[in-house]
C-alpha cells in the first residue's frame, strides 16, 4: 500500500457510532482538498499494520460514509481479533488518510463502547472506543477489541463462609470438587485424542461416509429426516455409507461408550449434517469435513446464536457454528439473518428452501392429512378454525411455560359464536396442558399431543402466535395471522429480536387480550402483510428443497452464481488480510 496521507487529499472524521446487536455502524464525514474521490475503502488496521477487517460501505450521502462491520465475523468466520485499530481510508492501493474523531463525539466514546458477556457471563468480549493519545494535535479514532475472564476483587471474608447469609463457598460446591474439575478438563482432551486416532485410521476411506446427527433430539426429524428419506428414495445409500447419531446430549446424560461411538462416527465422516447447535463441536475441531446446518427455523423473530451475543446462553467466540461449511434458508433475501446467527458469511447460506416443507407442499399428502384431522377433531368440520400457537416463555426447556392467566377463555368462547372453533397448540417445551374448562369443550381443543403443527395449518383460517417461527410455513396459505405480543418489550430485552418486530410481523400486532378479541370480531388482521412476507422469504414454493440440499450441498452441484459468490468472498478476504500497511521505511527494499 502507498502512504499518501501527508498530501492531505482527504480528511475523514468519525461523527457517529451506533450498534444493532453485533453489528457496528460508523459514520465518517469526508472532505477533499481537490478532486472528489469516489468509492473509498475503509480498513481496520492494528498496531502491527495488519488489516483485520474491511468495512462495508452501506450508504453515502453528502460525503458521509456509513460503514458496517459484524464484530463477530469480519469475513473469516471468527470474531474481530484482539488488538488496537485505526481506521484507514484508502483508494485502490493508496492510503489517503486515517480517520479522526470529530470533537462533538469525543466525550461519547464510553457510550459507544460495548461489552458482550459469554460463558455464563464469566467472560467478556469488549469493543472499546477511544482517542489515540499518541497524537499531539489530531484526534485519531482508536478501536480496541479484547476478551477477558472474570476476576475477583479480593478474597471472600471468612464471616460470609459457612453461615446463613446465603453465600456458598466454591469449595463447598460438589461440582467444584477436584475430581469434577479433573473430569471437566481432561474428558475433551481424551475425546480429541480418540477423534484424531480414528481420523488417521479412516483418513483414506472417509469420502463416501455421511453422518446425520443431532445432540438435541434422540431421533431424526424435520429437515434432516426429509433429506435422509430423499437420499434413500434416490438410492444414494448405494453410493454413500449413511450413518446416524441422535442423542439428547444437551438435557440428558450419555455414557462413555455413547461419546466414543459419536467421536468415531465423526472421524469416519467426510460430511456431517446437523439440525441444530451441537455442543461437542464447540470444542472438537473437525478435520477436512464438510458441515451442513439444516436448522429447522424458517425465519422467526427470536435472536439466536451470535445475533444475541452478550445475552444469557449465547455462544463463545469460537463455537460449533464456526465450523459450518453451509447453512440453508428460504430465500437469498433472508440469508443474512441466518449468517448473523451462525457467525459465518452470508454467501455460505444457500436458498434451498426448507426440506421438511416438501411434504407439506405435496397436494396428495395435504388431501390425506385433512381427512385424518377432521376424523380426529370432528368439531372442526364446517367451522372456521383459529389455531392458538405461541412460543414458550422461560429460559430453557426445564423452565418453559406459558402464562395461561392472560387468556380470557370466556371472552374467546363468546367471540367464537357459531363461526369459530379454537385449537390450542402450545410449544413442545410447555409441559402444562391448556386449562380448558369442560364448559368450553364444544369449541376449544388442546391439540398439544398432535405431532406435526404444519398439518394443522391446512384447516386453519386464523393463526394466533407471537414470536414463533411457525409463521414461515403458515404464510404460504396466504391466510391471516394475529400476533399476541403482550410482553414485546420484556421479550425484546431478555431474548432479543434479530429484526424489527413491528415492521416484520406479517399481520396485526396486539398487546392485550381485549385488543385480540376486537381484532377477531372486526376481522382486522392486516392480511396484506402476509403477501409481502411470502415474496421476501421464499425463492421456491415447491417440493424440491430436499433435492436442492442434496444436489447443491452434498453432491457439490451448486448453481454457478452461488459458487462464484462464495469464491469471490474468500478471495476478497484473503486479499484484504494480505495487504501491507507498513510505513515505507519498514518495508524491505
Residue 309 phi/psi, 5-degree rounding, is -60, 135
Question: Is 34 inside a domain boundary?
Answer: yes
Question: Is 72 inside a domain boundary?
Answer: yes
d(CA 526, CA 531): 10
The C-alpha cell 456458598 sits at 168
Element (H, E) at 285: none
pTM, rounded to two decimals: 0.88
Question: Is 243 inside a domain boundary?
Answer: yes
Residue 390 phi/psi, 5-degree rounding, is -85, 170
Domain check: are 140 and 281 in the same one? no
CATH number of residue 482's parent domain: 3.40.50.12580
Predicted pLDDT at 136: 67
Domain check: are 281 and 310 in the same one? yes
Domain check: are 297 and 412 in the same one? no
Mean pLDDT, consecutive 10-residue segments, the chain of 589 residues? 88 96 96 89 96 96 95 96 96 95 94 93 93 81 89 57 45 54 78 96 92 93 96 97 92 86 97 95 96 84 84 90 97 93 97 94 94 96 96 84 96 96 95 95 95 94 92 93 90 69 90 96 95 93 96 97 97 96 78
CATH number of residue 261's parent domain: 3.40.50.11820
Instruction: Write the CB contacts of 326 (distance below 8 Å, at least 6 apart in sequence).
Output: 290, 291, 292, 293, 348, 349, 350, 553
Question: Is 566 inside a domain boundary?
Answer: no
Instruction: Write the CB contacts of 122 (distance below 8 Å, at least 6 apart in sequence).
Output: 149, 150
Domain check: are 336 and 227 in the same one? yes
Domain check: are 429 and 473 in the same one? yes
- Cβ count within 10 A of residue 238: 7
Domain check: are 102 and 241 in the same one? no
Structural domain boundaries enclosing 517: 362-537
Report in angstroms the alpha-carbon separations of 542 from 334, 354, 358, 472: 18, 10, 7, 14
- Of 306, 330, 356, the residue at which a domain comes to its end is 356
DSSP letter for 433, please: P
- Of 307, 326, 356, the residue at which a domain comes to its end is 356
How is 480-521 classified by DSSP, letter by letter? Answer: -EEEE-TTHHHHHHHT-BSS-HHHH-SSEEESSHHHHHHHHH
Report in angstroms the alpha-carbon separations of 487 from 20, 308, 397, 411, 490: 21, 18, 19, 20, 5
CA 549 to chain centre: 20
Predicted pLDDT at 208: 92
Q: Which three cell numbers stand for residue 518?
A: 376486537
d(CA 226, CA 355): 6
Question: Is 336 inside a domain boundary?
Answer: yes
Question: Is 207 inside a domain boundary?
Answer: yes
Predicted pLDDT at 566: 97
State how beta strands 481-484 and 508-510 pair: parallel
Domain check: are 371 and 519 in the same one? yes
Domain check: are 368 and 333 in the same one? no
Domain check: are 528 and 407 in the same one? yes
Predicted pLDDT at 153: 57
Partners of residue 89 on adjacent β-strands: 42, 97
d(CA 144, CA 127): 6
Helix, strand, or coil (residue 190): helix
Per the structure, the count of domains in the chain is: 3
Helix, strand, or coil (residue 476): helix
Residues written for the chain: 589
- Of 88, 119, 151, the residue at which a domain comes to its end is 151
d(CA 213, CA 293): 10
Domain check: are 200 and 143 in the same one? no
Question: Is 461 inside a domain boundary?
Answer: yes
Domain check: are 222 and 343 in the same one? yes
Domain check: are 297 and 371 in the same one? no
Question: Is 482 inside a domain boundary?
Answer: yes
Amino acid at each position: 500500500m502507498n502512504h499518501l496521507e501527508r498530501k492531505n487529499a482527504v480528511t475523514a472524521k468519525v461523527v457517529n457510532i451506533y450498534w444493532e446487536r453485533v453489528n457496528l455502524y460508523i459514520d465518517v464525514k469526508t472532505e477533499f482538498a481537490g478532486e472528489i474521490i469516489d468509492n473509498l475503502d475503509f480498513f481496520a488496521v492494528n498496531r502491527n499494520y495488519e488489516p483485520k477487517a474491511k468495512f462495508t460501505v452501506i450508504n453515502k450521502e453528502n460525503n458521509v460514509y456509513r460503514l458496517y462491520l459484524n464484530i463477530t465475523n469480519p469475513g473469516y468466520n471468527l470474531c474481530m481479533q484482539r488488538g488496537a485499530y485505526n481506521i484507514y481510508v484508502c483508494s485502490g492501493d493508496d492510503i489517503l488518510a486515517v480517520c479522526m474523531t470529530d470533537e462533538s463525539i469525543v466525550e461519547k466514546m464510553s457510550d459507544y463502547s460495548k461489552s458482550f458477556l459469554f460463558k455464563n457471563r464469566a467472560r467478556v468480549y469488549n469493543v472499546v472506543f477511544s482517542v489515540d493519545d499518541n497524537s499531539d494535535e489530531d484526534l485519531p479514532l482508536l478501536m480496541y477489541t479484547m476478551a477477558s475472564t472474570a476476576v475477583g476483587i479480593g478474597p471472600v471474608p471468612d464471616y460470609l463462609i459457612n453461615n446463613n447469609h446465603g453465600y456458598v463457598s466454591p469449595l463447598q460446591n460438589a461440582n467444584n470438587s477436584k475430581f469434577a474439575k479433573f473430569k471437566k478438563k481432561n474428558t475433551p482432551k481424551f475425546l480429541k485424542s480418540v477423534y484424531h486416532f480414528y481420523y488417521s485410521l479412516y483418513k483414506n476411506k472417509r469420502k463416501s461416509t455421511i453422518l446425520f446427527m443431532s445432540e438435541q433430539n434422540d431421533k431424526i426429524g424435520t429437515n434432516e429426516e426429509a433429506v435422509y428419506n430423499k437420499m434413500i428414495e434416490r438410492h444414494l445409500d448405494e453410493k454413500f455409507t449413511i450413518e446416524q447419531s441422535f442423542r439428547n446430549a444437551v438435557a440428558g446424560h450419555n455414557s462413555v461408550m455413547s461419546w466414543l461411538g459419536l467421536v468415531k462416527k465423526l472421524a469416519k465422516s467426510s460430511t456431517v449434517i446437523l439440525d441444530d447447535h451441537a455442543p461437542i463441536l464447540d470444542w472438537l475441531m473437525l478435520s477436512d469435513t464438510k458441515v451442513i446446518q439444516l436448522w429447522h427455523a424458517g425465519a422467526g423473530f427470536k435472536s439466536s446464536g451470535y445475533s444475541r451475543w452478550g445475552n444469557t446462553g449465547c455462544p463463545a467466540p469460537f463455537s460449533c457454528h464456526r465450523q459450518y461449511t453451509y447453512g440453508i434458508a428460504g430465500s437469498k433475501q433472508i440469508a443474512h439473518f441466518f449468517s448473523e446467527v451462525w457467525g459465518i458469511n452470508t454467501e455460505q447460506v444457500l436458498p434451498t428452501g426448507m426440506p421438511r416443507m416438501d411434504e407439506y407442499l405435496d397436494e396428495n399428502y395435504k388431501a390425506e392429512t385433512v381427512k385424518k384431522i377432521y376424523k380426529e377433531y370432528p368439531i372442526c368440520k364446517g367451522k372456521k378454525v383459529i389455531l392458538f400457537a405461541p412460543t414458550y416463555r422461560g429460559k430453557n426447556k426445564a423452565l418453559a411455560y406459558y402464562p395461561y392467566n392472560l387468556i380470557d377463555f370466556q371472552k374467546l368462547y363468546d367471540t367464537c359464536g357459531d363461526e369459530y372453533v379454537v385449537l390450542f397448540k402450545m410449544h413442545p417445551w410447555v409441559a402444562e396442558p391448556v386449562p380448558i374448562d369442560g364448559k368450553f369443550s364444544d369449541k376449544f381443543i388442546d391439540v398439544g399431543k398432535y405431532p406435526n403443527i404444519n398439518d394443522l395449518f391446512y384447516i386453519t383460517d386464523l393463526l394466533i402466535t407471537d414470536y414463533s417461527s411457525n409463521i414461515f410455513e403458515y404464510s404460504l396459505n396466504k391466510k391471516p395471522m394475529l400476533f399476541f405480543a403482550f410482553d414485546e418489550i420484556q421479550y425484546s430485552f431478555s431474548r432479543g429480536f434479530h429484526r424489527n418486530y413491528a415492521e416484520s410481523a406479517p399481520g396485526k400486532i396486539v398487546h392485550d387480550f381485549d385488543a385480540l378479541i376486537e381484532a377477531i370480531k372486526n376481522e382486522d388482521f392486516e392480511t396484506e402483510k402476509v403477501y409481502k412476507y411470502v415474496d421476501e422469504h421464499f425463492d421456491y414454493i415447491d417440493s424440491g428443497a430436499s433435492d436442492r440440499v442434496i444436489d447443491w450441498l452434498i453432491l457439490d452441484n451448486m448453481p454457478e452464481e452461488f459458487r462464484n459468490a462464495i469464491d469471490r468472498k474468500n478471495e476478497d478476504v484473503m486479499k484484504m488480510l494480505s495487504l501491507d500497511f507498513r510505513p515505507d521505511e519498514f518495508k524491505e527494499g
